[in-house]
């Protein structure tokens, strides 16, 4: 086996995203040389961090038109790297950017694409990819029949390699002429997601109808901030206008797999469970002892979330002080 | 405006998944229009009502998908097309679906193509962008707002909770995110009218597609259900003690904090 893997490295406000380190680890499983590709206006500064996380080489593509992501701009840039490197496999993060760009690249290569991979079984050419279907109600094992192996990986599921600053590797650049951009990004409005992104969060504190109002999300936000996590919601809470639809977790909405999922005032409809039941540890807080959510919870507290959450905040603070 | 909407028939979100002989059991299951496609249909109808033109809904599948097409017609779409691959193909993947759609759409001069941003069954979200690439038109995924003024299009795109305000032009393919609109329910008169609206059925031959052109690139090795979670522990006692115990368990037993 001698397979070169191109990994798309993603930055967010100048910093590399964790999923890019996870993608390098995924690349190492399916090939033997991992080349990380960094695309942006001025991104070469973070190249060495990719090498510290296991990339063998880094290729940068820098251009003023690559300051913000567009499928045209990033598509041209990435195709230029493919032309130069002739990889046998590609790994992207299953992020907003990765989801948008990967099908375009797959179309240009006339290749298959396995989206939203959560686990890789086997190595090299024998690798088989596991991905959720029906939002996690079932799983499938799939492989590419022939041609380029192309996958996107779900954040938080494949462990990155340990960072080792003593690793070294070549950093080179490819120059491209970015033309014919059909999309102009006028503005990016940052909303709820200051701080931690829901799909990448290690801790999610989610509220349902039991939160009762927009203000009711206040204590949940405080708890999430304390634990370095993100706030999510059930469809019920979104439909009732307590929060933005971008927070919705479930079969419609986001599918999340954090280390810790705290469900507060969520009854646990099957559609919601599909979006969170593969979290590592689930805590349910609900007044109704019969609530469905207790069936998937590792730990449950029957009680009013407005009593329990403030107590939790106090206890976690105490734990932090003692640690 | 010549508007096309890509529709997929999917399991109802209420359905539990049952696997037998390595396949997902469809017998007795309820099927619906993929919920994200409903936003796409609604948006298409609103744009046609505002700007004029025609809405055609297109799906790939078997005879059974007619029901979902009739529902789309009852919502207000003008015409429906079923590309029936039941007799020709055993399997489809995102590559082959996008290819078939592109062969159907390549001479239709669509101004606007809408689809759901993802189907709740396969969940890959590939077909929209792949199709746009094959047709050589621009695309924007996961949109929550669409304004069309002549050739100029203003789109709001949801990117992991943030919003991107985008300017682009027609022809365009967009994929719908939740929040784009509130899909209507078919009205009784709508359902009656839908019965008389045109629903065309095409096969691969009609599109001059050779079976070799649509050989799948991805092979499914196995489908399985996630392991059943063992019932968890519901704590008891004084509420304050329960909370203390929970934090302790998360720290020492589950080791997630």
CATH of the domain at A230: 3.40.50.1220
pLDDT at A109 over 60: yes
Q: Is the pLDDT of residue B24 over 60?
A: yes
Q: Are residues A96 and A243 in the same domain?
A: no
**pLDDT at residue B250, as a whole number:** 95
What's the number of domains chain A is made of? Answer: 2
Dmax of chain B from CA atoms?
72
**pTM for the full predicted model:** 0.93
In a domain, A191, yes or no: no
Q: Tell me what the pLDDT averaged over chain B comes to.
A: 95
The residue of chain A nearest to residue B116, with distances taken between CA atoms, is A252
Q: Are residues A120 and A253 both part of a single domain? A: no
Mean pLDDT, range A72-80, rounded to an integer: 98
Q: What is the ipTM of this complex?
A: 0.94
Q: What pLDDT score does A75 carry?
A: 98
A190 domain-assigned: no
Count of C-beta atoms within a 10 Å radius of residue B204: 19
Q: How many cross-chain Cβ pairs, A to B, lie less than 8 Å apart?
A: 260
CB of A263 closer than 8 Å to CB of A275? no
Q: What is the pLDDT of residues A179-195, one digit of tens each?
A: 989 999 999 988 755 66
pLDDT score of A2 = 53
First to last CA, chain B: 55
* R_g of chain B, CA atoms, integer Å: 22
Answer yes or no: do A167 and A278 share one domain.
Answer: no
Query: Do A154 and A259 fall into the same domain?
Result: no
A145 chain-B contacts, CB cut-off 8 A? 216-219
Rounded-to-integer distance, Cα A166 and Cα A153, Å: 27
DSSP A146-178: SS-EEEEE-TTSSPPPPP-TT---EEEE-----
Using a CB–CB cutoff of 8 Å, tell me whether A241 touches chain B: no
What pLDDT, in 10s, does the model give residues A247-284? 999 988 888 999 999 999 999 999 999 999 989 999 99
State whether A152 and A269 are in the same domain: no
Residue B2 has pLDDT above 70, yes or no: yes
Identify all chain A residues contacting B165, using CB atoms and an 8 Å cutoff: 185-189
Question: Is position A252 within any domain?
Answer: yes
For residues A223-244, give the mean pLDDT: 95
Taking an 8 Å cut-off on Cβ atoms, the answer to whether A192 and B133 are in contact is no
Question: What is the average pLDDT across A200-207?
Answer: 94
Closest in A106, A128, A131 to B130, CB measured? A106
- CB of A121 within 8 Å of a chain B CB? The answer is no
Buried-exposed string A203-219: b where 16+ CB fall within 10 A, e elsewhere: bbbbbbbbbbeeebbeb
State what percent of residues in chain B have pLDDT above 90: 92
**Nearest CA-CA distance, residue B217 and chain A, Å:** 5
- Please give the span between the terminal C-alpha atoms of chain A, in angstroms, as a whole number: 47
Regarding whether A167 and A214 lie in a shared domain, the answer is no
Q: Are residues A227 and A275 in the same domain?
A: yes
Mean per-residue pLDDT for B40-62? Answer: 98
Picking from A282, A130, A137, the residue whose alpha carbon sits closest to that of residue A205 is A282
Smallest Cα distance from B224 to chain A, Å? 5
B161 pLDDT band, cuts 50/70/90, is confident
Q: Is residue A249 part of a domain?
A: yes
Q: A265: domain range?
A: 198-322
- What DSSP designation does A90 have? E
- In this prediction, residues B142-149 reach a mean pLDDT of 97
Of A158, A173, A188, the residue at which a domain comes to its end is: A173
Query: Based on the domain organization, do A58 and A204 belong to the same domain?
Result: no
Q: Would A45 be classed as within a structural domain?
A: yes
Question: Do A118 and A253 fall within a single domain?
Answer: no
Give the dihedral of Cα atoms A293, A234, A130, A163; nearest 10 deg: -100
Q: To 10 degrees, the CA torsion angle through A273, A277, A282, A286?
A: 10
What average pLDDT does the segment B25-31 reach? Answer: 93
A120 within some domain: yes
Check whether A104 has a pLDDT greater than 70: yes
Q: What is the tens place of the pLDDT at every residue in A151-172?
A: 999 999 999 999 999 999 999 9
Q: Using a CB–CB cutoff of 8 Å, tell me whether A114 touches chain B.
A: yes
Question: Are both A141 and A105 inside the same structural domain?
Answer: yes
Residues A169, A202 within the same domain: no
Q: Is the distance from CB of B42 to CB of B3 less than 8 angstroms? A: no
Same domain (yes/no): A151, A288: no
**Model pLDDT, residue A194:** 61
| Chain A residues near residue B129 by CB distance under 8 angstroms | 71, 100, 103-104, 107
Instruction: Show residues of chain A in contact with B36, CB under 8 Å.
Output: 252
CA distance B184 to chain A (A): 15
CB within 8 Å: B129 and A303: no
**Residue B216 and residue A145: Cβ atoms within 8 Å?**
yes
pLDDT of residue A1: 43
- Condensed to tens digits (0 to 9), the pLDDT of residues B80-118 reads 999 999 999 999 999 999 999 999 999 999 999 999 999
- For all residues of chain A together, what is the average pLDDT? 94
Distance from the Cα of B84 to chain A's closest Cα (Å) equals: 22
CATH assignment of the domain containing A151: 3.40.50.620
Q: Does residue A187 form part of some domain?
A: no
Residue A188 in contact with partner chain B when CB distance is under 8 A: yes
Does a structural domain hold residue A265? yes
């Amino acid at each position: 086996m001698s397979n070169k893997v191109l990994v798309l490295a993603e930055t967010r406000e100048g910093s590399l995203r964790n999923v890019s380190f996870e993608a390098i680890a995924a690349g190492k499983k399916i090939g033997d040389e991992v080349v990380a590709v960094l695309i942006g206006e001025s991104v070469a500064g973070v190249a060495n961090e990719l090498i510290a996380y296991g990339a063998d080489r880094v290729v940068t593509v820098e251009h003023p038109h690559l300051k913000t992501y567009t499928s045209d701009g990033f598509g041209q840039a990435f195709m230029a790297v493919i032309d130069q490197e002739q990889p046998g496999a590609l790994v992207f993060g299953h992020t907003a950017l990765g989801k948008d760009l990967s099908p375009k690249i797959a179309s240009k290569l006339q290749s298959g694409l396995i989206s939203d991979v959560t686990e890789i079984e086997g190595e090299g050419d024998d690798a088989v990819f596991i991905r959720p279907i029906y939002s996690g109600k079932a799983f499938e094992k799939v492989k590419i029949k022939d041609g380029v192996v192309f996958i996107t990986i779900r954040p938080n599921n494949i462990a990155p390699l340990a960072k080792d600053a003593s690793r070294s590797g070549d950093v080179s650049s490819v120059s491209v002429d970015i033309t014919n951009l059909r999309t102009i990004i006028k503005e990016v409005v940052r909303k709820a997601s200051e701080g931690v992104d829901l799909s990448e969060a290690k801790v999610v504190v989610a509220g349902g109808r039991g939160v009762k109002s927009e203000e009711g999300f206040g204590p949940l936000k405080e708890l999430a901030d304390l634990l370095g996590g993100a706030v999510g919601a059930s469809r019920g809470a979104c439909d009732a206008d307590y929060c933005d639809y971008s927070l919705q977790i479930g079969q419609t909405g986001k599918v999340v797999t954090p280390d810790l999922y705290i469900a507060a005032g969520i009854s646990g409809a099957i559609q919601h469970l599909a979006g969170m039941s593969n979290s590592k540890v689930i805590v349910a807080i609900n007044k109704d002892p019969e609530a469905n959510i207790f069936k998937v919870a590792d730990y449950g507290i029957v009680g009013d979330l407005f009593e329990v959450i403030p107590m939790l905040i106090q206890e976690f603070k105490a734990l932090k002080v003692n640690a | 405006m010549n508007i096309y909407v890509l529709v997929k028939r999917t399991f109802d979100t209420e359905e539990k998944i049952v696997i037998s002989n390595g396949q997902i059991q469809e017998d007795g299951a309820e099927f619906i229009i993929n919920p994200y496609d409903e936003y796409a249909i609604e948006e298409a109808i609103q744009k046609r009502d505002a700007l004029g033109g025609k809405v055609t809904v297109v799906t790939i599948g078997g005879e059974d998908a007619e029901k979902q097409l009739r529902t789309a017609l009852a919502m207000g779409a003008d015409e429906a097309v079923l590309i029936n691959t039941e007799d020709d193909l055993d399997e489809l993947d995102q590559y082959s679906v996008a290819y078939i759609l592109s062969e159907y759409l390549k001479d239709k001069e669509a101004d606007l193509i809408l689809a759901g941003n993802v189907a709740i069954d396969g969940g890959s979200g590939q077909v929209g962008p792949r199709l746009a690439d094959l047709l050589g038109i621009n695309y924007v995924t996961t949109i929550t707002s669409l304004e069309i003024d002549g050739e100029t299009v203003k789109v709001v795109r949801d990117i992991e909770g943030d919003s991107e305000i985008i300017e682009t032009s027609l022809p365009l393919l967009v994929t719908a995110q939740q929040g784009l609109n509130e899909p209507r329910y078919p009205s009784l008169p709508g359902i009656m009218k839908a019965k008389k609206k045109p629903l065309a059925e095409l096969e691969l031959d009609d599109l001059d597609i050779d079976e070799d052109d649509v050989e799948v690139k991805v092979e499914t090795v196995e489908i399985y259900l996630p392991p059943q979670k063992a019932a968890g522990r519901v704590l008891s006692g004084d509420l304050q003690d329960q909370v203390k115990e929970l934090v302790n368990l998360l720290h020492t037993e589950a080791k997630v904090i």
